[in-house]
Amino acid sequence: MIKDTQRFKPFTRDPIALVNEHGEWIGSFDLDLDDDQLRTLYRDMVAARLLDERLLLLQRSGKSSFAMEAAGHEGIQIAIAHTVKRGFDWLFPYYRDHGMLLALGVPALEIFAETLATKADPAKGRQMPNHPGSKKLNAFTVASPIASHIPPAAGAAISAKIQNTGQVVVTTFGDGATSEGDWHAGVNFAAAQGAPAVFVVENNRYAISVDLQKQTGSENLAVKAKAYGMPGYYLDGMDVLASYYVMQEVIERTRVGAGPALVEAVVYRYGPHSSADDDRLYRPKEEVEHWKQRDPIERYRKFLAGRSLWDEAWEAELREEIGTELARALEEAEAAGPVPEVWMFDDVYAEPLWPQVEQRRLLEEELGA
Amino acid sequence: MATMTLVQAIARTLDEEMARDDAVVVLGEDVGKRGGVFLATEGLQQKYGPDRVIDTPLSEAAIIGAAVGMAAHGLRPVAEIQFADYVFPGFDQLVSQAAKLRYRSGAQFTAPMVVRMPSGGGVKGGHHHSQSPEAHFVHTAGLKVVVVSTPYDAKGLLKTAIRDDDPVVFMEPKRLYRAVKEEVPDEDYTIPLGQAAVRREGDDLTLIYYGTVAPEVLQAADELEKVGIRPHVLDLRSLMPWDKEAVLEAVSRTGRVMIVADAPRHASFASEVAATIAEEVLDQLEAPPVRVTGFDTPYPYAQDKLYMPTVTRILNATKKVLDY
């Protein structure tokens, strides 16, 4: 049962955009966000970018082992954080979504603590950087294996449907994920059940070094939705307002029982895949520069300035304020101190079984000696 | 008290648990309208409806993965994999998601779920309908693993598995589904994981087994008793956790031990038990621990009955252990 949406059509030839590269509104309807809402979207994108920079700095300075940059992805990520019902809907994010989680309300303290594996990490130092999660906010803890969270997302959505909770499950992943069997398995099951799931691909055109042409024979990723019996929205994910309005509409149509949908958000990552990658090996610098011209923050800044909602003073104030918040969170995360060694034996099971009990004793002996 | 087969005990238990707790749902291929290809879910969809007994697409990754999401979201899913041999497309979901969810989230999210699967050979199914892949699961920290061999145990252990807060792989030897009938109490009872069942008491040697080889092991035990040898026979029932205490106690007392299972020998669960015995009670042993297992080949079709440990193979090994 697929209903047509009102403002946006699926399967468009070009990505849906509402603000052009000059920062001008090109939507066919009137903006209905107030000034505060408009400025908050900007603030959260800047916060995501600054967080991204700090996480990279932690890796560069040797404090963390790894970093994955998300600069260029902020439009769609912040839009998602603002269109779900926070703490009610469920999110199944992937490893480049730290900015989205920050905007959702996950404290920067927790993200830094996860990065540094200190005691303030709710996940107790179990995972490498860029793998946050929050039960409080229904943000499923990130797992590395690509697309492995898609079937669980389908399951959560089926559960929400069975229990008639009114929740929507929003799942994000990269373009490479769409090639995995798990992706098909999850999307197909959600569709067969008409479950309230929204699948969002943050298509940055590269799965590490493999470009989109080598990833798929499809003309784009949104068209894949057709075969599953759901609408596929082709979206400019570097346009935060287009992302906001499309996600809002897609989430609400899904909430009222219209079944799952796929959104392809076209973005670009400015940095390499991770701090362990060298992107000069597979893409020209000019290409990166070309995409930076479409930067979600720059473009939206022009939009706000055109409406007298932005000036240099506010920008400086904003950066100062976010910078201070992040610095304080980082300090607090570090001050919590490293997780104790023996924590590695907890949470394997609800209660440790005898192998964990025995092996914990073995490690304690080793450390005590 | 009713007399029933193992597969009837499974169906009955699922029914009881679904009646007890609305959060319990069943999902898998053919589990609904068809009642499962072995009828382990017979009648459940008629009784509880298609939302709680879900016919899924033909995708083990979807079945196990969706169960993880359902469990994290508050349900208690019982997933059925039609044959243990078909679990591998869903293996990533078991290993990367189910087994690690509690750990990787610091217990913020958990996956209280059961993955049931018919396992083992003896039904002329060839290598893709006969395998016993339990070693893979035991090797994955975060999963609990049960292998039943009697109707009584099936009920008590399945209830425990469904009520457990961790993911449990629940293996059901398909050749035993209808092999024996047994009286199964009507009342609610559970059997704790990690507790072996004593099938025979004796002092001459310890026979340890689990799952599909039960008839051969018990017949071999009968043969031994006829010639005056009294084996102590332990059915492990649960492999993670397993009853190390009962094993070491019996082995220390008898000084001789054999571990019998149908899975291939290398890196098998039988090997883990043998290694533990050697490490912990070597000085109590009068003979090396001996494994009687399936062969290190794919499970053959034509030699279906010869692949798994036969009574003759068990008795031959017994001679070695006793004469050492």
Q: Taking a contact as any Cβ pair under 8 Å apart, which residues of chain B between 131 and 150 contact chain A?
A: 141-142, 144
In a domain, A356, yes or no: no
In a domain, A183, yes or no: yes
CATH 3.90.1170.50 fits B2-184, yes or no: no
Q: Is-cis flag, bond preceding A151, omega within 30? A: no
User: What are A207-262's pLDDT values in tens digits?
Assistant: 999 999 999 999 999 999 999 999 999 999 999 999 999 999 999 999 999 999 99
| CB-facing half-sphere around the CA of B97: CA atoms within 13 A | 33
In a 3-state reduction of DSSP, which class is residue B159? Answer: helix
Please determine whether the domains at B2-184 and B197-323 fall in the same fold group of CATH: yes
Cα(B144)–Cα(B150) distance, integer angstroms = 19
Q: Hey, of B29, B105, B238, B239, which one would you mutate to test binding to chain A, going by the most A CBs within 10 A of its CB?
A: B105
Cβ atoms < 10 Å from Cβ of A101: 25
* Residue A369, pLDDT score: 63
Cα(A170)–Cα(B291) distance, integer angstroms = 50
3-state secondary structure A107-169: CHHHHHHHHHCECCCCCCCCCCCCCCCECCCCECCCCCCCCCCHHHHHHHHHHHHHCCCCCCE
Sign of CA dihedral A272, A273, A276, A279: negative
A181: nearest CB among B52, B61, B166: B61
Are A186 and B57 in contact by the 8 Å Cβ rule? The answer is no
The domain containing residue A40 runs over which residues? 35-338
Q: Hey, of B93, B101, B144, which one would you mutate to test binding to chain A, going by the most A CBs within 10 A of its CB?
A: B93
Q: Which of the residues of A are catalytic? A: 269, 273, 282
Distance from the Cα of A278 to chain B's closest Cα (Å) equals 27
Phi, psi of B35 (to 5 degrees): 75, 20
Report the candidate in B92, B87, B90, B93 with the shortest Cα–Cα distance to residue B128: B87
Cα(B81)–Cα(B251) distance, integer angstroms = 36
User: What are B224-271's pLDDT values in tens digits?
Assistant: 999 999 999 999 999 999 999 999 999 999 999 999 999 999 999 999
Distance from the Cα of A285 to chain B's closest Cα (Å) equals 36
Cα(A263)–Cα(A223) distance, integer angstroms = 10
DSSP assignment letter at A254: I
The domain locations on chain B are 2-184, 197-323
In a domain, A302, yes or no: yes
Mean pLDDT taken over chain A: 96
For residue B160, what are the contacts with CB-CB under 8 A and spacing of at least 6? B190, B191, B192, B193
Report the candidate in B322, B267, B271, B323 with the shortest Cα–Cα distance to residue B292: B271
* Residue B188, pLDDT score: 97
Residue B47 has pLDDT above 90, yes or no: yes
In a domain, A9, yes or no: no
For residue B194, give the chain A residue with the closest CA.
A353
CATH of residue A183's domain is: 3.40.50.970
Q: Which two tokens stand for residue A281?
A: 């090996």
Strand order in the sheet with A261-266: A90-92, A169-174, A197-203, A261-266, A232-236
Confidence of residue B1 (pLDDT cuts 50, 70, 90): confident
* Residue A1, pLDDT score: 41
Residue B41 has pLDDT above 50, yes or no: yes
- For residue A131, list chain B residues with Cβ-Cβ distance below 8 A: 104
Length of chain A (residues)? 369
Domain boundaries B197-323, corresponding CATH code: 3.40.50.920
Whether residue A348 and residue B103 make contact (CB cut-off 8 A), yes or no, is: yes
Mean pLDDT taken over chain B: 97
In a domain, A99, yes or no: yes
Q: Taking a contact as any Cβ pair under 8 Å apart, which residues of chain A between 338 and 357 contact chain B?
A: 346-350, 353-355
Is the Cβ of A193 closer than 8 Å to some Cβ of chain B?
yes
B62: nearest CB among A131, A151, A160: A151
Are A9 and A231 in contact by the 8 Å Cβ rule? The answer is no
What is chain A's percent helix, strand, coil content, to nearest 5?
A: 50, 10, 40
Q: Note down pLDDT in tens along chain A; length 369 residues.
A: 444 548 999 999 999 999 998 999 999 999 999 999 999 999 999 999 999 999 999 999 999 999 999 999 999 999 999 999 999 999 999 999 999 999 999 999 999 999 999 999 999 999 999 999 999 999 999 999 999 999 999 999 999 999 999 999 999 999 999 999 999 999 999 999 999 999 999 999 999 999 999 999 999 999 999 999 999 999 999 999 999 999 999 999 999 999 999 999 999 999 999 999 999 999 999 999 999 999 999 999 999 999 999 999 999 999 999 999 999 999 999 999 999 999 999 999 999 999 999 999 999 999 996
Distance from the Cα of A169 to chain B's closest Cα (Å) equals 11
Whether residue A152 and residue B241 make contact (CB cut-off 8 A), yes or no, is: no
Are A332 and A109 in contact by the 8 Å Cβ rule? The answer is yes
Confidence of residue B314 (pLDDT cuts 50, 70, 90): very high
- For residue B100, list chain A residues with Cβ-Cβ distance below 8 A: 143
Inter-helix orientation angle B60-72/A181-193, to 10°:
70
Whether residue B105 and residue A145 make contact (CB cut-off 8 A), yes or no, is: no
For residue A362, what are the contacts with CB-CB under 8 A and spacing of at least 6? none
User: What are B51-109's pLDDT values in tens digits?
Assistant: 999 999 999 999 999 999 999 999 999 999 999 999 999 999 999 999 999 999 999 99
Q: What angle do CA A149, A154, A157 make, to 5 degrees?
A: 125
Inter-helix orientation angle A35-60/A108-116, to 10°:
20
User: What are B158-210's pLDDT values in tens digits?
Assistant: 999 999 999 999 999 999 999 989 999 999 999 999 999 999 999 999 999 99
Is the Cβ of B319 closer than 8 Å to some Cβ of chain A?
no
Tell me the residue ranges of DSSP E strands in chain A: 90-92, 169-174, 197-203, 206-207, 210-211, 232-236, 261-266
Pairing of strands A261-266, A232-236: parallel
Sign of CA dihedral B232, B233, B236, B237: negative
Biggest CA-to-CA distance, chain A: 72
State the complex-level ipTM: 0.96
Distance from the Cα of A103 to chain B's closest Cα (Å) equals 20
Q: Which two tokens stand for residue B59?
A: 């995708």
Counting the structural domains of chain A, the total is 1
Q: Is A234 exposed, middle or buried (0-12, 13-18, 19+ CB in 10 A)?
A: buried
